[in-house]
Amino acid sequence: MNILVTGGMGYIGSHTCIQLIEAGHTPIIFDNLYNSNAKVLDRIQQVTGTAPQFVKGDIRDKDALVKAMTEHKVDSVIHFAGLKAVGESVEKPLEYYDNNVNGTLVLVDAMRASDVHSLVFSSSATVYGDPASVPITEDFPTSATNPYGRSKLMVEECLTDFQKANPDWSITLLRYFNPVGSHQSGLLGEDPNGIPNNLMPFISQVAVGRREALSVFGNDYNTPDGTGVRDYIHVLDLADGHLSALDKVGSTPGLHVYNLGTGNGSSVLDMVKAFEQASGKSVPYTIVERRAGDIAECWADPKKATKELEWTATRTLQDMTEDTWRWQSQNPNGYSDA
């Protein structure tokens, strides 16, 4: 299949392009490079032996999208493009609603104009807000506590209404838990700008000597060791979830909603220990105040995806930490070293 991958130059999108190519599909990457590096194209080629098609463009540009979908005879769209930093979204809500919500509406309008009726959307476990219990199933109530989360929820709601009005479309909402890890080649990985907001990139930058110590945001949660518990999932397992979604429901009219997680929770200190083992480096940390808006624990019940998509996460915490370390140690400054 020819698949338009918006945001395909980014962290999750680039790994998904590798898995798409290796499964025999043709990804057409559509990305404005706002948060990614053009060197990703060479890296995908080095891994797969295939240079992916790339269109530099913005998802708020309907004409450019229609042109890309028509010229490349696109069958389906996987939509990763968007802004994703929670703290920044509080400072810049307009930019977040414009990129994430307006951008998605323009994309769907362009798909309609191009007669492409199959869409897979990158949602997030953030739509569950502060869940009443764990593990989380897809029918849990949804809510938002910041503009980023609200933009994901709004898009889910817009797409749900749109699919109801257009019952021949296949729209899949994939709710990611915490993606970490890198391609096992060490050639691709997560390369955040500035100080990382998320745990794994912060730990790996401490291990490689770019930062002094990790701040652990609170050790007084009601969890086994007091630190926050999350469902970390290897980015390649997540990528494979998109292929399974396309394969199993991408041509089936309907609104399809799945959690993509492992079903296991790990604490901040579990992650520190696992990373120290994988890297052989020490990761000094200090306990600081809780981060505003954080929740104690969050992990998925992934049974629906296992049953309906025949997908399950197979990579272990050791794979996640070893692969992250390979990427970080070979590219201490991310793609700017390439």
- Note if 148 is an active site residue: yes
Judged by phi (left if over 0) then psi (alpha if -120 to 50, else beta), residue 49 lies in left
Task: Please pick, from the candidates 5, 19, 21, 31, the single residue that binds ligand NAD as defined by CB under 6 A.
Answer: 31
* Number of Cβ atoms within 10 Å of the Cβ of 64: 18
- The entry of ligand UD1, ligand NAD, none near residue 216 (CB within 5 to 8 angstroms by kind) is ligand UD1
Under the binding rule (CB under 6 A), the answer on residue 82 touching ligand NAD is yes
| Among the residue ranges 52-60, 132-140, 156-164, 304-312, the one whose residues contact ligand NAD (CB under 6 A) | 52-60
Nearer to ligand UD1, 30 or 202 (CB): 202
Under the binding rule (CB under 6 A), the answer on residue 124 touching ligand NAD is yes
Token pair, residue 201, equals 């990139």
Under the binding rule (CB under 6 A), the answer on residue 66 touching ligand NAD is no
Which of helix, strand or coil describes residue 319? helix
| Helix H or strand E encompassing 153 | helix 147-165
Under the binding rule (CB under 6 A), the answer on residue 43 touching ligand NAD is no
Nearer to ligand NAD, 118 or 282 (CB): 118
Q: Which positions from 163 to 182 touch ligand NAD by CB under 6 A, shown as an x/- string?
A: -------------x--x---
- The entry of ligand NAD, ligand UD1, none near residue 268 (CB within 5 to 8 angstroms by kind) is ligand UD1
- What are the helix (H) ranges across 177-267? 199-207, 235-249
In the chain, DSSP finds a helix count (H) and a strand count (E) of 12, 14
Spatial distance between the Cα atoms of 254 and 252, rounded to a whole number of angstroms: 6
- The entry of ligand UD1, ligand NAD, none near residue 228 (CB within 5 to 8 angstroms by kind) is ligand UD1
- φ/ψ of 180, rounded to 5, equals -145, 180
CA nearest to 250, candidates 125, 75, 106, 104 = 75
Strand 118-124, strand 214-217: pairing: unpaired
Indicate the angle between helix axes 317-330 and 268-279, nearest 10 degrees: 60
Nearer to ligand UD1, 97 or 202 (CB): 202
Q: Which residues bind ligand UD1 (CB under 6 A)?
A: 86, 124, 126, 148-149, 178, 197-199, 202, 214-217, 228, 230, 268, 291, 293-294
- The entry of ligand UD1, ligand NAD, none near residue 335 (CB within 5 to 8 angstroms by kind) is none
Active-site residue (options: 96, 97, 148, 258): 148
- What are the helix (H) ranges across 217-279? 235-249, 268-279
Rg of the chain over all Cα atoms, to the nearest angstrom:
19
Find where tokens 């609200």 sit: 150
Task: Please pick, from the candidates 3, 4, 7, 204, the single residue that binds ligand NAD as defined by CB under 6 A.
Answer: 7
Q: What is the residue type of 90?
A: V
Spatial distance between the Cα atoms of 274 and 272, rounded to a whole number of angstroms: 6
In angstroms, give the least distance from the CB of 39 to ligand NAD: 12
- The entry of ligand UD1, ligand NAD, none near residue 33 (CB within 5 to 8 angstroms by kind) is ligand NAD
Catalytic residues: 148
- For ligand NAD, the binding residues (CB under 6 A) are 6-7, 9-13, 31-36, 58-60, 80-84, 99, 103, 122, 124, 176, 179
